[in-house]
């Protein structure tokens, strides 16, 4: 457990010092002449806020110049009505970031931006590259010093376009050399581009705007939920190894690598919104089915099934349905807890400060509980949760987890704990149960989780569960700060422009 959303939507940490797996980023792009593309992008990012809460940004073009506005904070903190009204144009890209390469500082916020006499290029990236040092070595001396894999990619792409290639041709030349997870949105002054890595590790979709209103437009986004919020119809997934070019001529597709599908299984467990569809399968339906399978695989005699809100709720519904044990809300989440920079002292923690969850004693007292959650990482938050339920009078606490044990770190865009910190990598299930003081503990089997996703096993990246990495990661390419020697933390927004 211990998974932390800092927008308050899916927050379950009892102690803000405990940090669980952090998300991949969210990307959004729109080409829609005549529409308020800045506001469409804002709402698209709002729907993707769960994928990254450190910074947010929008790049926009009116056909003559690109304007980039970005800052640290949540989407609603970075943008307001006046700012969005000032950003006028017909195409835009947006990004909300959690840092997996490079520090969480303003300089590393996205979209990244390259400007030259010939024009500008802005780019947003969801994922994590695993050959960043090799790519950085390809940069000209004038562009050395990039601190993120995204900045390296932006500079390489723009330099190739400067040398006489079109941006589209430059992308087709560069992308086959890029290894790792990437769902990219990028743009020049007149065209929107989208590209997905050959494994398709992170979700990425194409949508159509305005089919009923008569207006025309195209949208690309990390999740289908972002298309829903802006009123776009899902057209299809962007294929692994595919580059899309979108302009007044419509959508053109070119392939830069053959597809070798390895979609992230953890998206179904936790990362994606429940109202998103991945590979034709609704995420909420998958999570409910996982709960059903968990109940059949690990039954227990109990009085109530309660979820850890909110990521444990769908699986808890499925567990209750399959087991016949009544479902109840036994924990109340404070929906208005966002980021907190006021850390509780040891004394306050000992008093049991509960910023984000509080038990319903009338529901819990004297009952045997099945507590359903999505994952356990370090075990600290689960330990605090069990203690809280026992203090509220629970007769028994049986923990059921709707994912297999997390045994290995991720190098493709999720910032997990190190293997040394992962409790399941260092303890047996019985030892973890004793450590968190649960009466019993059980995880869903990996094959059962895969079956619930309805995606063939060979088409999924399962590395965090089984250690089988679909793309080999060299030791010299690991580490969040591998490109950084020193980093400041400047404050304030920027408005960067490039004239064509």
Question: Which tokens in the block code for residue 48?
Answer: 């993707």
Sign of the dihedral defined by the CA atoms of residues 483, 486, 489, 495, in that order: negative
Residues of the domain holding 401: 277-460
Question: Which tokens in the block code for residue 212?
Answer: 């009923």
Is 275 a known ligand-binding residue? no
Lowest pLDDT segment from 291-305, 367-381, 443-457: 367-381
**Does residue 71 sit within a domain?**
yes
Q: Per-residue pLDDT tens for 117-137?
A: 778 999 999 999 999 889 989
Is 96 a known ligand-binding residue? no
Residues 329 and 450 in one domain: yes
**Does residue 411 sit within a domain?**
yes
User: What is the share, in percent, of the chain residues with pLDDT greater than 90?
Assistant: 67
CATH number at residue 177: 3.60.20.10
**Does residue 14 sit within a domain?**
no
Q: Is the pLDDT of residue 5 over 50?
A: no
In this prediction, residue 22 carries a pLDDT of 54
Residues 230 and 378 in one domain: no
Q: Is the pLDDT of residue 300 over 80?
A: yes
Assessment of whether the complete model's pTM goes beyond 0.85? yes
Residues 116 and 250 in one domain: yes
Is 487 a known ligand-binding residue? no
Residues 387 and 283 in one domain: yes
Is 311 a known ligand-binding residue? yes
Largest Cα separation within the chain, whole Å, is 74
Q: Is the distance from CB of 372 to CB of 310 less than 8 angstroms? A: no
Residues 245 and 325 in one domain: no
In this prediction, residue 101 carries a pLDDT of 55
Give the span between the Cα atoms of 100 and 239, in whole angstroms. 24
Tokens 């370090």 belong to: 378
Please, what is the Cα angle at 17 between 24 and 49, to 5 degrees? 30
Residues 254 and 281 in one domain: no
Give the span between the Cα atoms of 166 and 173, in whole angstroms. 11
Residues 217 and 291 in one domain: no
Is 464 a known ligand-binding residue? yes
Question: What is the length of the chain?
Answer: 500
The domain boundary, picked from 260, 294, 326, lies at 260
Q: Per-residue pLDDT tens for 183-199?
A: 999 999 999 999 999 99
Half-sphere exposure of 380 (CA within 13 A, CB side): 16
**Does residue 298 sit within a domain?**
yes
Q: Is the distance from CB of 108 to CB of 99 less than 8 angstroms? A: yes
Is 103 a known ligand-binding residue? no
Residues 249 and 348 in one domain: no
Is 461 a known ligand-binding residue? yes
Residues 216 and 172 in one domain: yes
pLDDT averaged over every residue in the chain: 86
**Does residue 87 sit within a domain?**
yes
In this prediction, residue 14 carries a pLDDT of 52
Residues 224 and 331 in one domain: no
**Does residue 374 sit within a domain?**
yes
Catalytic residues: 25
**Does residue 465 sit within a domain?**
no
Residues 367 and 455 in one domain: yes
Q: Per-residue pLDDT tens for 221-243?
A: 999 999 999 999 999 999 999 99
In this prediction, residue 478 carries a pLDDT of 54
Q: Is the pLDDT of residue 272 over 80?
A: yes
Domain count, the chain: 2
**Does residue 499 sit within a domain?**
no
Residues 245 and 309 in one domain: no
């Amino acid at each position: 457990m211990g998974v932390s959303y800092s927008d308050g939507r899916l927050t379950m940490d009892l102690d803000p010092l405990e940090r669980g797996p952090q998300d991949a980023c969210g990307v959004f792009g729109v080409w829609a002449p005549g529409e308020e593309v800045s506001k469409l992008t804002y709402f698209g990012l709002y729907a993707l806020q769960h994928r990254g809460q450190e910074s947010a940004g929008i790049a926009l073009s009116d056909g003559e110049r690109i304007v980039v506005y970005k800052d640290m904070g949540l989407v609603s903190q970075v943008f307001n009505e006046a700012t969005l009204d000032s950003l006028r144009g017909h195409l835009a890209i947006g990004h909300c970031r959690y840092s997996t390469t490079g520090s969480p500082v303003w300089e590393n916020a996205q979209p990244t931006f390259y400007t030259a006499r010939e024009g500008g290029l802005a780019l947003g990236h969801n994922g994590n590259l695993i050959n960043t040092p090799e790519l950085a070595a390809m940069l000209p001396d004038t562009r050395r010093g990039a601190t993120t894999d995204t900045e390296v990619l932006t500079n390489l792409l723009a330099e190739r376009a400067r040398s006489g290639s079109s941006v589209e041709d430059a992308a087709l030349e560069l992308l086959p050399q890029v290894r790792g997870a990437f769902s990219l949105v990028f743009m020049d002054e007149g065209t929107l581009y989208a590209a997905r890595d050959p494994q398709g590790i992170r979700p990425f979709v194409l949508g159509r705007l305005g089919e009923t209103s008569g207006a025309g437009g195209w949208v690309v986004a990390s999740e289908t939920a972002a298309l829903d919020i802006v009123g776009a119809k899902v057209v299809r997934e962007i294929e692994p190894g595919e580059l899309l070019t979108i302009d007044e001529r419509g959508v053109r597709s070119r392939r830069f690598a053959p597809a070798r599908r390895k979609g992230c299984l953890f998206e179904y467990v936790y990362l994606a919104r429940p109202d998103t569809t991945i590979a034709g399968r609704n995420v909420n339906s998958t999570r409910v089915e996982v709960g059903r399978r968990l109940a059949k695989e690990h039954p227990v005699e109990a009085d109530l099934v309660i979820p850890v809100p909110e990521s444990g709720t769908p699986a808890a519904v499925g567990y209750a349905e399959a087991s016949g044990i009544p479902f109840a809300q036994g924990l109340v989440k404070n929906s208005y807890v966002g980021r907190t920079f006021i850390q509780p002292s040891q004394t306050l923690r000992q008093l049991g400060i509960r910023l984000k969850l509080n038990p319903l004693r009338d529901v819990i007292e004297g009952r045997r509980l099945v507590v359903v959650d999505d994952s356990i990482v370090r075990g600290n938050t689960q330990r605090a949760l069990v203690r809280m339920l026992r203090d509220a009078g629970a007769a028994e606490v049986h923990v059921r987890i709707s994912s297999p044990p997390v045994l290995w770190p991720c190098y493709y865009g999720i910032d997990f704990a190190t293997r040394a910190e992962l409790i399941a990598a260092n303890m047996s299930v019985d030892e973890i149960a004793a450590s968190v003081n649960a009466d019993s503990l059980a995880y869903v089997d990996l094959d059962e989780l895969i079956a619930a996703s309805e995606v063939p096993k060979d088409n999924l990246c399962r590395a965090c569960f089984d250690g089988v990495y679909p793309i080999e990661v060299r030791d010299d390419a690991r580490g969040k700060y591998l490109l950084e020697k020193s980093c400041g933390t400047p404050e304030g927004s920027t408005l960067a422009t490039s004239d064509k």
